[in-house]
Structure 1
Amino acid sequence: MANWQCISNCGACCYLEPSDRPDLEEYLIPQDLQTYLSMVGSDGWCIYFDRLKRQCSIYEQRPRFCRVQADTFFEMFGVEPEELNDFAIACCEEQIESIYGDRSLELLRFEQAINQQGSLD
Structure 2
Amino acid sequence: MKTIKETWCCVANCGACCNLTPEDRPDLEEYLTAEELEIYLGMVGKDGWCINLDKDTRKCLIYEQRPRFCRVKPDTFQDMYDVAEAEFNEFAIACCRDQISGVYGNDSVEMKQYNRGVRDEE
TM-score, normalised to structure 1, is: 0.95
CA distance in 1, matches of 2:44, 2:98: 20
Identity rate, percent: 53
How many equivalent pairs are there?
A: 118
Match of 1:74 in 2: 78
Match of 2:121 in 1: 119
Match of 1:104 in 2: 108
Matched, 1:59 2:63: yes
Match of 1:8 in 2: 12
Matched, 1:41 2:40: no
CA distance in 1, matches of 2:101, 2:87: 21
CA distance in 2, matches of 1:95, 1:83: 18
Please state whether the residue corresponding to 1:76 is helix, strand or coil: helix
Superposed CA RMSD: 0.8
Unaligned runs of 5+ in 2: none
Please state whether the residue corresponding to 2:48 is helix, strand or coil: coil
TM-score, normalised to structure 2, is: 0.94
Flag the structure with higher helix content: 1
Unaligned runs of 5+ in 1: none
**Deviation beyond 3 Å, 4+ runs, structure 1:** none
Q: Mean Cα displacement is larger for which, 8-17 or 70-79? A: 70-79
Measure how far apart 1:113 and its partner are.
0.8
